[in-house]
């Protein structure tokens, strides 16, 4: 004798899916379109979440690990700023932990919709070991009056001629 399995629970599941699937699809589509729009506005995946959280004066990266450097080396990195606010923002100065960090000239103005890269030059100290220094940029943005940036590196002893100073 053959027994049939009751189909009532399965039909309840299908009914629930039929009702929920369109809403789930709508929610997913809304999230994807919001994220896509934020990416179009910022052009940088690292800025999408802050943009969706309401920030309009955006900083792409504030922690820079420069890798392993030799004593006396010099490296440059940039801090990218994006102004999506409705008014101009001025970066009017910087304060450094030590003279080993050199920044661009100030003041600079970032107009609405404009992107600006601030250069920071690092002069690696003569002591081997962990290197960490900070620079603070000061702005007229009420959202971000100060931007804290960290430069890190592992400094190794200088052995022989520095390859960056050799001429071909």
Q: How far is CA 87 from CA 17, 100, 103, 132, in A?
A: 47, 33, 24, 34
Among 20, 37, 52, give the residue marking a domain's end: 52
Owner of token pair 């629930």: 16
Residues 29 and 92 in one domain: no
Q: How far apart are CA 166 and CA 168, in angstroms?
A: 7
pLDDT at 125: 84
The per-residue DSSP string of 73-105 comes to -EEEEEEEEEE-SSS-EEEEEEEESSTTEEE--
Residues 21 and 97 in one domain: no
149 CB burial (10 A radius; 0-12, 13-18, 19+): buried
pLDDT at 83: 93
Q: How many structural domains does the chain have?
A: 2
Structural domain including 102 reads: 57-160
Q: How far apart are CA 27 and CA 63, in angstroms?
A: 34
Q: Is residue 166 part of a domain?
A: no
User: Per residue in 76-104, pLDDT tens?
Assistant: 999 999 998 989 999 999 988 877 777 87
Residues 41 and 72 in one domain: no
Q: How far is CA 126 from CA 44, 71, 131, 154, in A?
A: 36, 5, 10, 12
pLDDT, averaged in runs of 10, over the chain (168 residues): 59 68 62 58 67 82 92 90 92 85 86 92 88 93 94 86 55
What pairing do the DSSP bridges indicate for beta strands 146-156 and 63-70?
parallel
Residues 46 and 108 in one domain: no
Burial 23-39 (b: 16+ CB within 10 A, else e): eeeeeeeeeeeeeeebe
Q: Residue 113 is part of a domain; what is its CATH number? A: 2.60.40.10
Residues 44 and 110 in one domain: no
Torsion of CA 41, 80, 135, 75, to 10 degrees: 160
Looking at the whole model, is its pTM more than 0.75? Answer: no
* Cα 32-44-118 angle, rounded to 5 deg: 160
Residues 74 and 121 in one domain: yes
Q: Is residue 2 part of a domain?
A: no
Q: Is residue 3 part of a domain?
A: no
Residues 84 and 29 in one domain: no
Q: How far is CA 117 from CA 44, 107, 108, 114, 164, in A?
A: 14, 13, 11, 10, 24
């Amino acid at each position: 004798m053959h027994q049939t399995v009751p189909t009532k629970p399965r039909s309840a599941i299908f009914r629930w899916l039929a009702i929920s699937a369109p809403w789930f699809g709508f929610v997913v589509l809304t999230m994807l379109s919001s994220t896509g729009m934020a990416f179009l506005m910022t052009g940088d995946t690292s800025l999408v979440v802050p943009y969706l959280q309401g920030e309009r004066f955006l900083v792409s990266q504030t922690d820079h690990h420069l890798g392993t450097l030799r004593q006396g080396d010099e490296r440059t990195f940039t801090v990218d700023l994006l102004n999506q606010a409705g008014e101009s923002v001025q970066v009017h100065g910087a304060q450094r932990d030590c003279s080993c960090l050199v920044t661009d000239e100030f003041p600079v103005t970032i107009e609405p919709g404009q992107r600006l890269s601030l250069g920071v030059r690092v002069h690696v100290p003569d002591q081997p070991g962990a290197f960490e220094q900070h620079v603070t940029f000061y702005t007229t943005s009420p959202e971000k009056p100060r931007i804290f940036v960290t430069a890190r590196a592992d400094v190794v002893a200088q052995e022989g001629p520095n390859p960056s100073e050799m001429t071909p």
